[in-house]
Structure 1
Amino acid sequence: MDTPLPSGTTKRRITLDLGRPRLTWGARPTVTIDGVGHPAQWGTGTWAVAEDGSTTIGVSCFNRLWRFGTASSTVGDADGFTYRSGALPMGAGRLTARRTAD
């Protein structure tokens, strides 16, 4: 498995837009890149990924009691993703790929 190079030397970055659910009850997002969890904030951010597009990215929300809204996808040729959790703090979320026109 190829791991991304340290920050600043990785040539490929993707944009991840994390939409805050209406009922958060103190929930915070966590982004996983190839199974490694990274704390995140609501809003738009960029993440370093492997250049070959084989990276699996996932997002879930958690609060002090439970984890919910889990969604995952393979990066492929996407330039970014939009994450939306369910309307209630339970069930799965949606991770939608965005591609720029060439």
Structure 2
Amino acid sequence: MDTPQPSGTTKRRITLDLGRPLLTWGARPTVTIDGVGHPAQWGTGTWAVADDGSTRIGVSCFNRLWHFGTASGTVGDADGFAYRSSALPLGRGRLTARRTAG
């Protein structure tokens, strides 16, 4: 008999480091995984993704008035991502893939 798999359809997790902008005006981050939004917190967290690396990750900041700092990328062979928004609540953010050596 096979060992039961963890819940969901994946065993792969990536690390996502969400850096808080200098002026947030109450903004919170939202992470999208293949178009499905998930509330998040500033700091480092892990997210479940598909094993084949085709998962599309997006991050944006929002407050009660507007969205800003949107950035996105494909997981591929990355082990994690670092997100940085612009210093002001305007413009696009930056999502940088990180790979471990080896």
The TM-score with structure 1 as length reference comes to 0.92
Q: CA deviation at 1:10?
A: 2.7
Partner deviation per Cα, 1:8-54 (whole Å, 9 max, x = no partner): x7310000000000000000000000000000000000000000000
Matched residue SS, 1:68: strand
Where does 1:22-33 land on structure 2 (aligned, <5 Å)?
Answer: 22-33=22-33
2:81 partner amino acid:
F
Name structure 1 gaps, 5 residues minimum.
none
Per the alignment, residue 3 of structure 2 pairs with none
1:29 partner amino acid:
P
- The count of residues paired between Structure 1 and Structure 2 equals 97
Q: CA deviation at 1:87?
A: 1.1
Per the alignment, residue 90 of structure 1 pairs with 90
- Runs (4+) off by over 4 Å: none
2:61 partner amino acid:
C
Per the alignment, residue 15 of structure 2 pairs with 15
Structure of higher CA gyration radius = 2
Distance 1:23 1:96 in 2: 21
Partner deviation per Cα, 1:31-85 (whole Å, 9 max, x = no partner): 0000000000000000000000000000000000000000000000000000000
> Percent of pairs identical after alignment?
87
- RMSD over equivalenced CA pairs, Å: 1.2
Distance 2:13 2:86 in 1: 26
